[in-house]
Amino acid sequence: MAMQRPDHLPDFQQPPLNEVVVGVQFAPAIGYQQIRAGEVWGLFRTDFPVVEEHPPIPPAFETFGLPSGAQINLGFITGAPHDRFWFLSDSRAELIQFQQDRLLHNWRKVGEQTAYPRFEAMIVRFQREMTALETYFSSLSPQRLICNQAEISYINHISPFSDNALGWLRVLDTGDQPPEDVSAVFRRVVRDRNGKPIGRLICEIQTAVEGKGERIFILTLTCRGGPEGDKIADVIDFLTAGREMVVNEFARVTSESAHTHWGRVR
């Protein structure tokens, strides 16, 4: 069933969006071994016929009450290490990342004509992909996907060095001259309906150089944390709420002149 975009969310005709990632972390499945990675690829191979291998992402949890107040990365490994597999579409604009305890779906801008499929379509596909993986795991041993963290990231490439483009980020006052480089991070706590902290909304701003040699700002907005339950439906609820937080934060940290340039319609 198709989801509808909420009417109250900010919307732009030409946002500087370069990549969107939705993902889930889960308990490793009983009976899964890396030799079965080809069987997992078989679940998605029709739409994602290209494979790449990459190092795994270590388990990570947003935690609270520690002195650092930050994310904990758990790097211990039991048994042989497992690779992370990328299953890519022919255009390379979309890919699934899979390892023994993670599933992610990326959309990436590839060339000027790559159209973002919108969150509503992307989250429906991701729910189907999680369900397909859960069904496969249940064929190895009676079990379901035990989800413990979820995340959604919007990565924006903003060109602040073109004419009249300084001041597009409200959180930066660069003056009349563009900075040589910038690196800034701030976090907000995400709470459930009872006020309990369950995750964080993270805003990261960095300068970078694109392939053509143009200096840009990369604005990454991420909502990451633990869903209220450990089922697929709970992950979808977390990601849907996280998307709203990310989009509203994007509108908050960018300026009205930037909104005009990107064609804000709501």
3-state secondary structure 215-259: EEEEEEEEEEECCCCCCHHHHHHHHHHHHHHHHHHHHHHECHHHH
Assigned domain for 9 exists: no
Assigned domain for 8 exists: no
- The pTM for the full model equals 0.91
Q: Give me the domain span that covers residue 68.
A: 17-261
- The tens digit of pLDDT for each residue in 231-265 reads 999 999 999 999 999 999 999 999 999 999 999 99
Question: Which H or E run contains 207?
Answer: strand 197-209
Task: Report the pLDDT value the prediction gives residue 214, as an integer from 0 to 100.
Answer: 81
Assigned domain for 208 exists: yes
Assigned domain for 5 exists: no
Per the structure, how many domains does the chain have? Answer: 1
Task: Report the pLDDT value the prediction gives residue 111, as an integer from 0 to 100.
Answer: 82
